[in-house]
Structure 1
Amino acid sequence: MRRRLARALALPLTLVAAGAAIPQATAAPVAADSIVVGGFPVDVSQSPYTVALSSRDRFGGTRAGQFCGGVAVGRTTVLTAAHCMDKEVLGTAPERLRDLRVIAGRTELLSDRGQEVAVRAIWVNPTYDGVTNSGDFAVLSLADPLPATSVIGMAGAGDPAYRSDTAATVYGWGDTTGSGSYAGSLHGARVRVQPDALCEQAYPGGSHGTYRAETMLCAGEVAGGRDACQGDSGGPLVAEGRLIGLVSWGAGCGWAGSPGVYTRISDVLRTLGWSAASPS
């Protein structure tokens, strides 16, 4: 899911097709089943660090239990959105979800490709603010290691990948139209990093959310059309080969003047005391 002010809560974010009509939703994170709007099919070999979070007990087997995205930043370390671990989404405390797994190396959710790895431990950012969505990240520790080739590097503070107008790609299994059209295969959407001022204007507070440049990143297309959506929450935004953001929230999917808002990875690194080098 991706939390949205106009993107539905507890459903996967998706990449929506350009020009598609998108219904208004409530202000909340978007969880797991959707695909990227205005996107294109991607084989997981092109983004091996993109993983799906799964619980068949909670979300059923139709889409292999996928409810959010994530990104491998270490062989046993996955980043995702804090709101994906909300009791409101999972129906229970995350540590009590017995079958929480990470699906890696799989393009089609219902294929037997890749691996499903149990989550050994969950750490949710204690400074995460569910009202403003600031600090929207969590760290999952895996019971078994992923291949070294599945890991992506992270962009630290001052990295040129954060500059406005930088080309970026967001990945996920979410809603591809903004109206609940969930696909079972991985998609990507090409967007651009936008100036903080654009999201500050779009999300000044109140019912439209509050954009905070120190913890968030603005990305999308000014004219709309390409975006993350329901079910993509926690998935990666990648620029110049480095992870710069996690799908977090926004108004609608692909709406003109309402770019997607991502958790800024440089703030994740600062909060955790990590360097840009991947953890083990």
Structure 2
Amino acid sequence: MRRSLRSLLAVSAVPLAVALALVLVAPAPATADRGVVGGQPVRTVEAPWVVALSSREVFGAARSGQFCGGAVVGPTTVLTAAHCMSRAVLGRSWWEVPDLRVIVGRNDLRGTAGVEYPAARVWVNPAYEGDERAGDLAVITLSRPLPPAYVVPMARQGDPAYRPGTRAAVYGWGDTEGDGSYASTLHMATVRVLDDATCETAYPGSTEGDYQADSMVCAGLPKGGHDACQGDSGGPLVAGGRLVGLVSWGSGCAVAGRPGVYTRISAVAPLVPAHG
């Protein structure tokens, strides 16, 4: 897939039992706007609501089996991209992945810090259309609750964080160079929320994708250079201390004129309480 769905699609599978870490390090309060391609290392203690999705059986033991990202929006509720739960990514239905885990508080995926939570329940938006990429949302319910400090609030309709030009940050453990150089530690890239006209011009409905303002938001920089990439899918875009988007798709990574496209949280937030 392209860089059209920003996921790690092909990694060797090496079965390995998952050992839960014993203690979560207490996080600092969520500070979203501080300051992935063109990014910089950031500690999970600074962004405790950023989580990694993992399956060692499907993706191998390296980097804890990470394949997508997610964001904690409630004590037991994690949001990610619907396409992260697809056969295109997992090679099977998500319920056929016995070791699907949400990794919380692990900055370096080569280590064992933090806790790996089994998914008690997964809900994939039935309205998600893979070709059009609208409604790219899945909700994972954790097996036990996290402390309140791990939760990032969701942006709602009319939130000023969606204003064009707003500084935002995207987080993930994905490709940092656009060439398959996957990160072992969490990275953050600073971008700007873009106006819908710019996004519609970039993605007018060609083979590269169709930008739909009612369910998507895009972010980047005019000259490119900062962006999410493969392996960052489902990860958070945060502005003004609120979750405004989830990494969904785009053309290339950090390419000028091809900003990253995110699931618009204000559009899908009403779906979350009933299924999270």
8 Å Cα contact 1:7/1:253 also seen in 2: no
2:225 aligned with 1:222: no
Tell me how far apart the structure 2 counterparts of residues 3 and 54 of structure 1 sit (CA, whole Å). Answer: 21
Partner of 1:90 in structure 2? Answer: 90
2:124 aligned with 1:124: yes
Deviations 1:113-172 (A, max 9, x none): 110000011100000010011000100011122222111101100010000000000000
Partner of 1:4 in structure 2? Answer: 3
Q: Which amino acid aligns with 1:69?
A: G
Map 1:171-182; keep pairs closer than 5 Å. 171-182=171-182
Deviation at 1:251, TM superposition (A): 0.3
> What is the aligned residue count?
252
Deviations 1:220-262 (A, max 9, x none): 1011000000000000000010000000000000000000000
8 Å Cα contact 2:193/2:218 also seen in 1: yes
Q: Which amino acid aligns with 2:38?
A: G
Partner of 1:233 in structure 2? Answer: 233
Tell me how far apart the structure 1 counterparts of residues 272 and 105 of structure 2 sit (CA, whole Å). Answer: 26
The answer to which structure, 1 or 2, has the higher relative contact order (CA under 8 A, 6+ apart) is: 1
Change over 3 Å in CA distance of 1:120–1:8 after alignment to 2 = closer
Deviation at 1:112, TM superposition (A): 1.8
Map 1:70-219; keep pairs closer than 5 Å. 70-219=70-219
Partner of 1:270 in structure 2? Answer: 270
8 Å Cα contact 1:52/1:66 also seen in 2: yes
Q: Which amino acid aligns with 2:270?
A: R
Change over 3 Å in CA distance of 1:123–1:3 after alignment to 2 = farther
SS of alignment partner, residue 130 of structure 1: coil
Deviation at 1:95, TM superposition (A): 1.2
TM-score by length of 2: 0.87
Tell me how far apart the structure 2 counterparts of residues 49 and 5 of structure 1 sit (CA, whole Å). Answer: 25
Deviation at 1:197, TM superposition (A): 0.6
Q: Which amino acid aligns with 1:124?
A: V
> Structure 1 regions of 5+ residues with no counterpart?
13-35
Please list every run of at least 4 consecutive aligned residues from structure 1 whose deviation after the TM superposition is greater than 4 angstroms: 6-9
Deviations 1:7-60 (A, max 9, x none): 676269xxxxxxxxxxxxxxxxxxxxxxx0000000001110000000000000
8 Å Cα contact 2:7/2:231 also seen in 1: no
Tell me how far apart the structure 2 counterparts of residues 127 and 7 of structure 1 sit (CA, whole Å). Answer: 20
Partner of 1:27 in structure 2? Answer: none
8 Å Cα contact 1:7/1:252 also seen in 2: no
Partner of 1:15 in structure 2? Answer: none
Tell me how far apart the structure 1 counterparts of residues 246 and 10 of structure 2 sit (CA, whole Å). Answer: 16
Q: Which amino acid aligns with 1:49?
A: W
Partner of 1:24 in structure 2? Answer: none
Partner of 2:48 in structure 1? Answer: 48
Change over 3 Å in CA distance of 1:168–1:38 after alignment to 2 = same
8 Å Cα contact 2:53/2:68 also seen in 1: yes
Deviation at 1:3, TM superposition (A): 6.3
Change over 3 Å in CA distance of 1:41–1:222 after alignment to 2 = same
Tell me how far apart the structure 1 counterparts of residues 7 and 171 of structure 2 sit (CA, whole Å). Answer: 18
Change over 3 Å in CA distance of 1:185–1:177 after alignment to 2 = same
8 Å Cα contact 2:77/2:139 also seen in 1: yes
TM-score by length of 1: 0.86
Deviation at 1:4, TM superposition (A): 3.2
Tell me how far apart the structure 2 counterparts of residues 132 and 233 of structure 1 sit (CA, whole Å). Answer: 16
Q: Which amino acid aligns with 1:142?
A: L
Deviation at 1:273, TM superposition (A): 6.3
> Structure 2 regions of 5+ residues with no counterpart?
12-35
Percent of aligned positions that are identical: 58
Tell me how far apart the structure 2 counterparts of residues 81 and 113 of structure 1 sit (CA, whole Å). Answer: 25
Partner of 1:68 in structure 2? Answer: 68
